Amino acid sequence: MLETVWFLLWGILWAVYFMLGGFDLGLGILSPYVARSDTDKRIVYNTMGPFWDGNEVWLITAGGVTFAAFPTTYAVMFSALYTPLLLLLFALILRAAALEFRSKVEGKSWRKTWDVVLFLGSFVPALLFGVAFANIFQGIPIDADGNFHGNLLTLLNPYGLLGGVLFVLLFAVHGGLWLAVKAEGDLSVRAGRVAGQLWMVLLIVAVAFLAASWFATNLYGNYIAYPWLWLVPLVTVVALVTTRLFMLKAAWWKAWFASCLTIVGATLFGVVGLYPNLFPSSLNPAYSLTAFNSSSSPLTLKIMLVVALIFVPIVIAYQTWSHFLFRDKVTSEDLASDEAY
């Protein structure tokens, strides 16, 4: 029971990270295509200014919870995915530097360099998260001792790459909508338009991914066994379509919220399908790491549950307040402030 609760919480933490980190990663991916002038670029940076740091803590918590609740999974997953994880880390580190450093120095080549870093530092993590999760959905070649039999190229298989492209598109649309909400004038219009174009591609890739999952993974097993679970993918698809409907009405806030729901739904679709596996083995199902054979002791799970039940609602409360506080568009007046990126 405790294991199942933590499995769900684990999935929710990833879902929230993708929902929040997703818009700032998406902004980084879209920036070269929608932001033309230096002012445009600064607006892109500043729309995520107060948030990106708090967003990233959801990733740290997701990682920490994997370690604390499922230490064996954490150990095997992180060492098996060694190269992609380190690439991801470098990308995130350089990206943070880009956000913090870019506007602190005048000079075209300085700023241009960091703009490229922001793009790569956003694109690479989005792609790798998708590749990693898709590979987890279809199983990883690990043996009974959790040793990984493969390399980075093993993970870059067609289904894995499809997952990567799906994540890049989900985040790019999400970031585009955020910019449509937060920017003014032309930039907002361009962001909304690009988000709309990408949404079309996203729809095709999402359908392809759902279809490919039928053949490449066992994700649908749980849905066939418990048909009420179909609600999860159903809500996700409805949210994805609703996102577009709101976009057509230029209701950007609503479209962004629908996009949030799409990302959470998409993540949970995978997580629910995966249960009870956390890190399935493609060599032999008996080697798979599950919520039950890789979990911490009941005492640790209980203590963490108490902490999570008290503090996570508080975190949600103050992060929501922060979004409320910075609900306005980013204006040129904001850029003149001394603290602006």
Partner 1 sequence: MDVVMLSRLQFAVATYFHFLFVPLTLGLVLLVAIMETQFVRTGDEEYKKMTKFWGKLFVINFALGVVTGITLEFQFGTNWSQYSKYVGDVFGSLLAIEATTSFFLESTFIGVWLFGWKKLSPKAHAACIWFVAIAANLSAYWILAANSWMQHPVGYVIRNSRAELTDFWAVLTQPYAIWMYLHVIAGAYILAGFFVMGISAYHILRGQNIPLFKRSFRMAAIFTVIFAVAEIGIGDIHGKEMMKVQPAKAAAAEAVWETTKGAPLYLFAIPDEENERNSVQIFGIPKLLSLVALGDANAEYKGLKEWPKEERPPVAITFWSFRLMVALGLFFAGVSIVAVLKRNKPETSPRLLKLLVFCIPLPYIAAGLGWTVTEVGRQPWIVYGVMKTADAASNLAVSQVGLSLTAFIVVYAALGVVCFWLIAKYARAIPEPASAPGGADFSSAHVVAADK
Minimum Å distance from CB 60 to partner 1?
5
Minimum Å distance from CB 267 to partner 1?
19
Name every residue whose Cβ is closer than 8 Å to that of residue 197 and which is 6 or more positions away in sequence. none
Of 67 and 275, which CB lies nearer to partner 1 in the complex structure? 67
How many residues comprise the chain?
A: 341
Grouping H, G, I as helix, E, B as strand and the rest as coil, residue 319 is: helix
Of 153 and 325, which CB lies nearer to partner 1 in the complex structure? 325
Minimum Å distance from CB 75 to partner 1?
4
Tokens 């603290």 correspond to 339
Of 284 and 322, which CB lies nearer to partner 1 in the complex structure? 322
Minimum Å distance from CB 300 to partner 1?
5
Determine contact, residues 130/272, Cβ cutoff 8 Å: no
Of 17 and 269, which CB lies nearer to partner 1 in the complex structure? 17
Of 245 and 307, which CB lies nearer to partner 1 in the complex structure? 307
Of 33 and 78, which CB lies nearer to partner 1 in the complex structure? 78
Determine contact, residues 40/34, Cβ cutoff 8 Å: yes
Minimum Å distance from CB 4 to partner 1?
18
Neighbour tally for 108: CB within 10 Å: 8
Which residue type does 228 have? W
Minimum Å distance from CB 314 to partner 1?
9
Determine contact, residues 263/15, Cβ cutoff 8 Å: yes
Q: Where are the alpha helices (DSSP H) in the chain?
A: 2-34, 38-48, 52-69, 71-80, 82-101, 108-138, 152-155, 158-182, 185-216, 220-225, 231-248, 252-274, 298-325, 332-336
Of 100 and 222, which CB lies nearer to partner 1 in the complex structure? 100
For residue 277, list its beta bridge partners: 290
Of 106 and 225, which CB lies nearer to partner 1 in the complex structure? 106
Minimum Å distance from CB 188 to partner 1?
19
Minimum Å distance from CB 119 to partner 1?
17
Neighbour tally for 204: CB within 10 Å: 10
- For the chain, the C-alpha Rg in angstroms (whole number) is 20
Query: In angstroms, what CA-CA distances link 250 with 36, 109, 196, 297?
Result: 22, 36, 10, 50
CA distance 280 to 266: 19
